[in-house]
Amino acid sequence: MSRCLEGEKLKQQLKCVFDQYKGVESELIPVLQDVQDACGYVPVDAIAAIARFLKTPASKVYGVVTFYAQFYLKPQGKHKIRVCQGTACHVRGADEIMRVIKRKLGIEEGESTADFEFNLEKVACFGSCALAPVMVVNDKVYGNVTPEQALEILDGLSS
CA neighbor of 36 nearest in space, from 88, 8, 73, 1: 73
CB of 123 to other proteins, least distance (A): 7
Site string for other proteins, 55-84 (x = CB under 8 A): -----x--xx--xxxxx-------------
Whose Cβ is closer to other proteins: residue 38's or residue 88's?
Answer: 88
Q: Does 44 bind other proteins (CB under 8 A)?
A: no
The C-alpha atoms of residue 96 and residue 90 are separated, in whole angstroms, by: 9
Whose Cβ is closer to other proteins: residue 10's or residue 65's?
Answer: 65
CA neighbor of 101 nearest in space, from 92, 143, 22, 110: 110
Count of residues near other proteins by CB under 8 A: 46
The C-alpha atoms of residue 122 and residue 156 are separated, in whole angstroms, by: 20
List the one residue from 132, 137, 150, 154 that touches other proteins (CB under 8 A). 132
Q: Which residues bind other proteins (CB under 8 A)?
A: 25-30, 32-33, 54, 60, 63-64, 67-71, 85-92, 99-100, 103, 123-132, 134, 139-144, 147
